[in-house]
Amino acid sequence: MKTQTLTPDRAGFDCAAALLGEGQLVAFPTETVYGLGGDARDDMAVARIFEAKGRPRFNPLIVHVPSVDVAKQYVTWNDDADRLASAFWPGPMTLVLPLKPNSGLSTLVTADLPTLAIRVPEHTVAKKLLETFGGPVAAPSANPSGKISPTSAAHVTAGLSGRIAAILDGGPCGVGLESTILGLSDTPTLLRPGGLPSEAIEAALGAPLARHHTGDPLTAPGQMTSHYAPGAPMRLNATDLHENEMLLGFGSVDATLNLSPAGDLIEAAANLFGYLHKMDALEPETIAVSPIPDHGLGRAINDRLRRAAAPRP
């Protein structure tokens, strides 16, 4: 794939929005760091984000929207959210709130969690892109997994050129640090320190923030072993089918549901959570799962399958 560099003018925004509409990926500047954007409603687009970054896990992603009103369409709002959004949005702050049912977002965006991380960015190029596109944009930092977050278009090119459709070049990022992430589902909690100092947040809330102490707080919620495990036990790497089993297939096998008959890992990732839920609804005694190649997105898929198959507490 040849990665286009787009300038932030009318033609550039139109092109970027059209690419997003086709499920392609566009890197764009925010005031914190460059984000790797994809349509948050499109499973294939979100799967491509994980593929392009080479992420070995399906961490939940931040969804970017143009306004507080749009944010309220996706999450259940509360007083703390109101106070903080009035004080700091648009800006380098992400709020984690309960995801509304029927949000229309890809289950991959939230890694199937019941909460959503959402933010209204301040950068004029990010705002203009969100307005032109007219939909929610999922965007992790636009760097390959494990590398430093990019604060210029050149950083993005160095890391992701050839792996994404376009880069919208809006110059260097002002803040240069990722957004501060706050959990607001109950007691306001600092999940990740970032571009907005916690003192400012505590002043606006009129109360101290709780801190998260367990390792990497941001990947933890999506990685709990029991999370999203289906009701039935699972047998992975199944090359045959036992009695009373239903097969979640991959590749050219006869299966109850097939993650990707063509053996395409991006398609399989896009279908993963939805199909686990569908299999569950069929109430099989055991879910057998075809072997998934352990490279590229296959590693993230296998990571999730192993968690889903882990012994239940």
- Binds 103: which of Mg ion, ligand TXA, none (CB < 5-8 Å by kind): none
In one-letter notation, the amino acid at residue 117 is A
> Which range in 70-78, 135-143, 253-261, 273-281 contacts ligand TXA by CB under 6 A?
135-143
Give me the 24-53 binding string for ligand TXA, x by CB under 6 A, dash otherwise.
------x-xx-x------------------
Q: How many Å separate Cα 52 from the centre of its chain?
A: 13
What is the Cα–Cα distance from 161 to 231, expressed in whole angstroms?
A: 42
Quick check: 247 binds ligand TXA (CB under 6 A)? no
Contacts of 94 (CB under 8 A, 6+ apart): 62, 117, 118, 119, 179, 180, 181, 182, 192, 194
Question: Which of Mg ion, ligand TXA, none does residue 218 bind (CB under 5 to 8 Å by kind)?
Answer: ligand TXA
The pair of structure tokens assigned to 303 is: 């990571």
With H, G, I as helix, E, B as strand and everything else as coil, classify residue 299: helix
Q: How far is the CB of 117 from ligand TXA (least distance, A)?
A: 3
E-strand stretches of the chain: 4-6, 26-29, 34-39, 62-64, 93-98, 115-119, 137-138, 166-168, 180-183, 189-192, 210-211, 234-235, 245-249, 257-258, 286-289
Binding mask 130-169 for Mg ion (x = CB under 5 A): -----------x----------------------------
Using CB under 6 A, which of the segments 129-137, 176-184, 240-248, 299-307 binds ligand TXA? 176-184
Tell me, rounded to whole angstroms, the distance of Cα 113 from its chain centroid.
Answer: 11
Q: Which of 46, 108, 113, 164 binds ligand TXA (CB under 6 A)?
A: 113
Interface residues for ligand TXA in 57-76 (CB under 6 A)?
Answer: 59-62
The reply to whether 201 sits near ligand TXA by the rule CB under 6 A is no
Q: Which of 71, 218, 241, 292 binds ligand TXA (CB under 6 A)?
A: 218
Neighbours of 22 (CB within 10 A): 12
Residue type, 171: G
Query: Which one of residues 86, 187, 219, 252 is an interface residue with ligand TXA (CB under 6 A)?
Result: 219
How many chain residues are in contact with Mg ion, going by CB under 5 A?
A: 1
Q: Which of 101, 130, 128, 126 is nearest to 116 (CA)?
A: 101
Residue whose token pair is 């709002």: 77
Q: Is 93 in the site for ligand TXA (CB under 6 A)?
A: no
Which residue number, 139 or 270, has a Cβ lying nearer to Mg ion?
139
- Which residues of this protein are in contact with Mg ion, per CB under 5 A? 141
- Which residues of this protein are in contact with ligand TXA, per CB under 6 A? 30, 32-33, 35, 59-62, 94, 96, 110, 113, 115-117, 139-141, 178-179, 181, 191, 218-219, 221
